[in-house]
Amino acid sequence: MDNEKRLVDIELKLIAQEDLTQQLNDQVVELQKELQELQALYRALVRRINEGEAAGGSDPYTQERPPHY
């Protein structure tokens, strides 16, 4: 195998590796956004539950099951 062919092969592998790295980076960015959205939802739910408890409201998760269960 001559040096030029080896160099071309190395360059092609490098390009493929750079593309894969970019795809992985894009996926990480997307997952980070989704994680931030889920954390915001979680905080909102916790705040809502705490406000309900502070207001003396009944907790819907501790209510009795209806008789048809």
The pLDDT of residue 64 is 73
- Given this model, what pLDDT does residue 53 score? 80
- 2: tokens are 């001559």
Are 30 and 24 in contact by the 8 Å Cβ rule? The answer is no
Check residue 8 and give its pLDDT: 96
Please give the pLDDT value at position 57.
58
Residue pair 59/53 in contact (Cβ under 8 Å)? The answer is: yes
Question: Quick one: pLDDT at residue 58?
Answer: 59
- Return the number of other C-beta atoms located less than 10 Å from residue 57's C-beta: 10
Residues in the chain where the model's pLDDT stays below 70: 1, 57-63
What pLDDT score was predicted for residue 44? 95
